[in-house]
Amino acid sequence: MKNKIALIAGAANEIGQAISIKFAKNGAKLILVDSDSQGLDAVALGSDVAGALLEKVSLDPTDSNSVKAAVAKILEKHGAVDILINNFDHKDGLPISEGTLANWEVSLKENLTPVISFCLNVIPEMQKRQYGRIVTVGSLDYLGVQNRSNYSTAKSALFGLTRSFALETAKDGITVNQVIKGDIKSQADDLSPEAEAKAAGSMPVQRLGKPEDVAFAVAYLAADSSKYVTGQNLIVCGGKSIYSSMSA
């Protein structure tokens, strides 16, 4: 991906940061986008990212007009978006007995709408140039999860979106794929050693994932070398999905 222009939408969280660092090391030129301006600054100023940065954009990804305007300015200024990364994860949920339609609308708005907005605004230009890589970061909860059906539904929608967009754009030199993350250790989790050991022990690989594990998979699907891979949902979960499929 050397000298490719990569728009990383949702760059401020730990996975977004890991993706940004990985892409910078691989020679990409970065446009970092997020609603968290402070987190975005921290990623942009990091020594591993700063040299590859073209610009950073702070916006509300759920506001389709803001996304449309921002992408238009980016295309006008830089001429292209070769790689689009969608990394949005608003993890909430309530049992059916406590949930409301509003809870569902928020989950869809936070997890699904931004992906649609960025894709719809980036894909036409990719089609004109007959080149593009789109990778969305999803969640293993797309398989279904108790007491978070609104979140699971939003993540399930990304599965169909990925496959459908891939079919429609395959003839245009564009690949559309998804990396589905399992249990990834975050600094915000604040797990006790005992709780982390128990969680790790439940994984076939006997450890929790790291943001870098997700970043490696995203980088593979965003590279030129994966041009024959499209419409795929690559699960990065340390084998946990095998248990999930067996119980389904």
User: What residue ranges do the domains of the chain occupy?
Assistant: 5-247
Distance CA 228, CA 238 (A): 25
What integer best gives the mean pLDDT of the chain?
92
Of the candidate ranges 71-85, 163-177, 179-193, the one whose mean pLDDT is the lowest: 179-193
Q: Which has more pLDDT, 126 or 94? A: 126
Taking the whole predicted model, whether its pTM rises above 0.75 is answered as yes
Is residue 151 part of the annotated active site? The answer reads: yes
User: Under CATH, what is the fold of the domain 5-247?
Assistant: Rossmann fold (3.40.50)
Write out pLDDT tens, residues 76-124.
999 999 999 999 999 887 888 888 898 889 999 999 999 999 999 999 9
Write out pLDDT tens, residues 191-219.
677 877 887 887 888 888 899 999 999 99
Q: Which of 142, 151, 220, 243 is catalytic?
A: 151
